[in-house]
Chains A and B, each alone.
Chain A
Amino acid sequence: MSERLHELDRPNSYIGKSVPRPNAVHLLQGRGRFVDDKVLPRMVHAAFVRSPHAHARIRGVDADEAKTLQGVIAVFTGEDMAAAIAPWSGVLTHLAGMRSPEQPALARDITRWQGEPVVMVVAQSRAIAEDAAALIEVDFDPLPEMCDMEGALDSDAVVIHPELGNNLCWERLVETGEVNAAFSDPANTVVDRTFTFGRHTGVTLEARACIADYDQAEEALTFHYSGQSPHMMQAILAKHLGFEEENVNVIAADVGGSFGIKIHTYGDEIATAAAAKLLRRPVKFAADRFESFVSDIHARDHRVKARLALGQDGRIAALEIDDLTGIGPYSVYPRSSGIEANQVLNLTGAPYDIPAYRGRARVVFQNKNVMCQYRAVGHPIANSVMEGLMDDAARQLAIDPAELRRRNLFADDAYPVTSVTGMKFADLSHHACLGKLLDMMDYEGLKSERDALRKKGIHRGIGIVSMVEVTNPSPMFYGVGGAPISAQDGATVRLDANGAVHVSSSITEQGQGTETILAQIAASAIGVDIAKVKVTTGDTRTTPYGGGTWASRGAGIGGEAMLLASRALKSQILEAAATVLQARPEALDIEAGNIVDTGGTKPRMSLAELGKLVYYRGNELPSDVRPELIATRHFRVTDYPFVFTNGAMASYVEVDIETGMVKLLGHWVVEDCGTVINKKLVDEQIRGGVVQGIGGALYEECLYSENGQLQNATMADYLVPMAGEMPDIEIAHIETPSCTSDLGAKGAGEAGTCGAPGAVMNAVNNALEPLDASVAQHPITPERLLRALSVID
């Protein structure tokens, strides 16, 4: 535990306890307040005509018939919306050389992916809006498509944005140490392989939704939004719709899953806000599932050529990777679509002590849906590539995979240390995690079982990975590159007249337990029953300014702000109480909502009494005593660009070599996210993350035809992990608090998704080892597996 965290082992200490989520109860009763549940007076509904082509010129739009349909309020084309919305461009200045042209809310002149919104219809109901959309004739003139990222930079490739000259969005090269020498040294063993990662997407069960409510009297916009980052959205809406920022209020109540999908700028949502302004009435847009598949950001889509040189002692001598990633026709605003490739460069091999490294990443445009940050951005790629190479090397060198990792992981007492990829690490525990993992899974026992079953023709495999996860980012992630994205968060804490504590925070809740851990921290730091703490999040008008949910930052940054604010309120309370009780503040403490003598338990005065005295009967206080029972604190990470979490993970699978089916038999995770505020919630974040990672490893893929048509844009065709196939997942923790804060919490939300794909791939390949077959393409579908086994061509 962090030495600076002294709120533990006290009567109202909730930190470290698995407190159930108070705000889960209304969801259990069917009383959720999701955006599509809301109805506002005079509200109307939007639907969009989306491009059926991956690349086409728009020659004209005929909406005459649609406009005559009863219940249709308005039809807006790309030109109409261009007059109301300033276009955006998803480039970050710190990703040097990145290019992306201006993107309109609705396509103008040319449409560049199948699913791009082209015409908007607003009507009395969504059903009528859809009917009208079906009557709109758009005259498309199809253009040649550029879909396959492999050919994007060829000299004869169709250039999607001619003004850029080619399809390159961004390229980055890094080189450290004697790479060539290591690979050409005949004493070294070299393994190399090309890994591919298909596109998948978030498939949040609640699709994207928003209601824009325009108030002409105040020149103000209230935007009810199913999303993660209200303040970012506030800045974007203001900037592109011409509002004063303070006149835009963004509200995110219950959000039905987000995972990075709901943190980007979507043309259909911005057009909804513009329509509300133009029509002077509330407009709702709730995407249907098809719209989600073709317009929610996609993720991954990487091809990584990688090689690793090792000495005969199994120590890594050099790593080289070459990543190519296709991001659709635009870099997504405002986070850009370059961050994932950048993470691949930064994180591949990051757990290991590597002397030489060369990496190249190229980010290219293509006529497919846009690609951007989704849970565990870049991590599953970086981790699968490195851990895949480690297992290849272990095979080649005949060293046990766990032992090979032990020989190369940074020592647990090596920190602070900087990786060859330039990442500054502190407070990690790779060896402790790996050791605990092997114990927990009974590694030796499992190996014996696997070997015994192999003799009976049963193909089981074990896969292990070591990993790091970027969490609690400083402004070095986005703010430095000019994006309106806060890396700091704020917390306000106040005492009410009845002794209850109201807290508000700029971090947001999508079910991960944000509000619960905020209440745990406040109750612990102040000394009140957690039931007395009421939490507000997700409203730009009533919460302090901050970043919201992304990059596993809520507990570490927002939690620290809450700790600091709660301590400040406690001091204020003790100071006021000291005046009333004629004691020194240091001689007083708070326990169970009562002022007590330090070290004692006998209540001298309740917080309710204090509150009433201060708020109702101030006449009883000396005239120069003016208690402030409200405190605000903000926190950002300094000294380190990111606070890394580390962990180790293992998967145990059985492969049916006749059907190509992979059965998941077991999954184990040991995670070091520093101070664990609520173990149950952390474990459930990890489990959900693992299952999302398994989805990417085995099932999920946005399948495009050669001409850019998404062919499986329904939940019946796009496979997601369901309960029947998922294993039980065992989880344990190592707790090395982060030195960057008093709370010591690092993030935990993305670790599962980071490590699971590599663990599953390695387990599958371990099972295939006696058959001399191996796979390196995600998802590992039965078809790809059978092809690897040469059962089919």
Chain B
Amino acid sequence: MTAARMPISLRINGEQVETTVQARTNLVDFLRNEQQLTGTHVGCEHGVCGACTVRVDGRIVRGCLMLAIQANGTTVETIEGQSDSGKLEELQAAFHRHNALQCGFCTPGMLLTAQELLDSDKPITREVIRDQISGNYCRCTGYQAIVDAVEEVAIARRGASL
């Protein structure tokens, strides 16, 4: 049952990682338990809450729905890397100002999910923001402050008209 470990090679937050992993280990468990990247969270292990959101080759994925071994050869970015790189600075500051987090458990996933929208060329409205984060569960905030924060960054980046 405790199957053999398979070699895996990937880039995590800019660092090359060469290690082994069990075939059954999903990406989020691998990141949390084997790479000590605990900023990515586990809420449902079912693909519905978004707490485990990470970026794989530049696109957001649910770390609980992907096996670690499937990330072999990819570039993985987590909240730690995105935060240290400064790419989330504006959005983090807006979240802070608007109190768009309470317990903060959903926050890493929310930030990466919102960042994807802000970096896209999609038109952004409050509805579009709500739609973008509609797969990310937050029990604490009621979502409005999150929408406010994302909207504020969108306006700052794209001008008042959005």
Q: How far is the CA of A715 from the CA of B62 in the complex (A)?
A: 15
Given contacts A27-B101, A28-B83, A205-B41, contact A20 B96 (CB under 8 A): yes
Q: How far is the CA of A125 from the CA of B43 in the complex (A)?
A: 19
Q: How far is the CA of A24 from the CA of B105 in the complex (A)?
A: 11
In the bound complex, do residue A205 and residue B92 qualify as a contact, i.e. CB atoms below 8 Å apart?
no
Assess whether B104 is interfacial by the CB under 8 Å rule: yes
Q: How far is the CA of A692 from the CA of B139 in the complex (A)?
A: 7
Q: How far is the CA of A206 from the CA of B130 in the complex (A)?
A: 22
In the bound complex, do residue B137 and residue A205 qualify as a contact, i.e. CB atoms below 8 Å apart?
yes
Q: Chain B nearest CB: distance from A371 CB in Å?
A: 19
Q: Chain B nearest CB: distance from A352 CB in Å?
A: 28
Residue of A nearest to B148 (CB): A728
Chain A contact patch, size range: 35 or more
Q: Which of B33, B80, B96, B103 contacts A205 (CB 8 A)?
A: B103
Given contacts A28-B96, A30-B79, A32-B105, contact A257 B140 (CB under 8 A): yes
Chain B contact patch, size range: 35 or more
In the bound complex, do residue A20 and residue B83 qualify as a contact, i.e. CB atoms below 8 Å apart?
no
Q: Which of A24, A258, A689, A715 contacts B99 (CB 8 A)?
A: A24
Assess whether B61 is interfacial by the CB under 8 Å rule: no
Q: Which of A207, A510, A726 contacts B144 (CB 8 A)?
A: A726
Q: Report the stretch among A567-575, A644-652, A679-687, A739-747 that lies at the interface.
A: A679-687
In the bound complex, do residue A28 and residue B99 qualify as a contact, i.e. CB atoms below 8 Å apart?
no
What 0/1 pattern do residues 16 to 54 of B give for CB contact below 8 A with A?
Answer: 000000001100010011001111111111111101000
Q: How far is the CA of A255 from the CA of B41 in the complex (A)?
A: 13
Q: Chain B nearest CB: distance from A772 CB in Å?
A: 33
Assess whether B76 is interfacial by the CB under 8 Å rule: no
In the bound complex, do residue B139 and residue A720 qualify as a contact, i.e. CB atoms below 8 Å apart?
yes
In the bound complex, do residue B80 and residue A30 qualify as a contact, i.e. CB atoms below 8 Å apart?
yes
Q: Chain B nearest CB: distance from A351 CB in Å?
A: 24
Q: How far is the CA of A479 from the CA of B40 in the complex (A)?
A: 40
Q: Chain B nearest CB: distance from A457 CB in Å?
A: 24
Residue of B nearest to A728 (CB): B144
Assess whether A57 is interfacial by the CB under 8 Å rule: no
Given contacts A30-B39, A128-B2, A716-B46, contact A726 B142 (CB under 8 A): yes
In the bound complex, do residue B43 and residue A206 qualify as a contact, i.e. CB atoms below 8 Å apart?
yes
In the bound complex, do residue A688 and residue B46 qualify as a contact, i.e. CB atoms below 8 Å apart?
no
Assess whether B154 is interfacial by the CB under 8 Å rule: no
Assess whether B146 is interfacial by the CB under 8 Å rule: yes
Assess whether A691 is interfacial by the CB under 8 Å rule: yes
Residue of B nearest to A256 (CB): B105
Q: How far is the CA of A680 from the CA of B47 in the complex (A)?
A: 32
| B139 neighbours in A (Cβ, 8 Å) | 202-205, 257, 259, 688, 692, 720
Chain B 56-109 interface residues, beta-carbon cutoff 8 Å to A: 78-80, 83, 88, 92, 95-99, 101-108
B contacts with A: majority SS: loop
In the bound complex, do residue A30 and residue B40 qualify as a contact, i.e. CB atoms below 8 Å apart?
yes
Assess whether B131 is interfacial by the CB under 8 Å rule: yes
Q: How far is the CA of A24 from the CA of B42 in the complex (A)?
A: 19
Summed over the interface, the residue pairs from A and B with CB atoms below 8 Å come to a total of 185
| A606 neighbours in B (Cβ, 8 Å) | none
Assess whether B135 is interfacial by the CB under 8 Å rule: yes
Q: Chain B nearest CB: distance from A206 CB in Å?
A: 5
Q: Chain B nearest CB: distance from A579 CB in Å?
A: 42
| A206 neighbours in B (Cβ, 8 Å) | 41, 43, 103, 105
Q: Chain B nearest CB: distance from A649 CB in Å?
A: 14
Residue of A nearest to B47 (CB): A716
What 0/1 pattern do residues 198 to 213 of A give for CB contact below 8 A with B?
Answer: 0000111111000000
In the bound complex, do residue A20 and residue B138 qualify as a contact, i.e. CB atoms below 8 Å apart?
no
Q: Chain A nearest CB: distance from B60 CB in Å?
A: 15
What 0/1 pattern do residues 19 to 48 of A give for CB contact below 8 A with B?
Answer: 011001101111110101101000000000
In the bound complex, do residue B103 and residue A29 qualify as a contact, i.e. CB atoms below 8 Å apart?
no
Assess whether B145 is interfacial by the CB under 8 Å rule: yes
Residue of A nearest to B103 (CB): A511
Q: How far is the CA of A20 from the CA of B98 in the complex (A)?
A: 8
Assess whether B134 is interfacial by the CB under 8 Å rule: yes
Q: Chain A nearest CB: distance from B69 CB in Å?
A: 15
Q: How far is the CA of A494 from the CA of B91 in the complex (A)?
A: 35
Chain A 174-217 interface residues, beta-carbon cutoff 8 Å to B: 202-207
Residue of A nearest to B129 (CB): A723
Q: How far is the CA of A716 from the CA of B137 in the complex (A)?
A: 11
Residue of A nearest to B22 (CB): A127
| B80 neighbours in A (Cβ, 8 Å) | 29-31
| B29 neighbours in A (Cβ, 8 Å) | 127
In the bound complex, do residue B46 and residue A715 qualify as a contact, i.e. CB atoms below 8 Å apart?
yes
Q: How far is the CA of A341 from the CA of B79 in the complex (A)?
A: 44
Q: Which residues of A line the B interface, CB within 8 A?
A: 20-21, 24-25, 27-32, 34, 36-37, 39, 69-71, 125, 127-128, 131, 202-207, 254-259, 288-289, 510-513, 680-681, 684, 687-692, 714-716, 720-724, 726, 728-729, 752
- Give 24 pairs: A residue, B residue, CB < 8 Å, sorted on A: A24-B95, A24-B104, A27-B101, A29-B83, A29-B92, A30-B78, A30-B83, A36-B38, A71-B2, A131-B1, A205-B49, A206-B43, A207-B43, A256-B104, A256-B105, A257-B102, A680-B98, A684-B99, A691-B143, A715-B46, A722-B136, A723-B134, A728-B147, A729-B142
> Top 8 A-B pairs ranked by shortest CB distance?
A30-B39, A27-B104, A511-B102, A30-B79, A256-B105, A511-B103, A691-B142, A37-B38
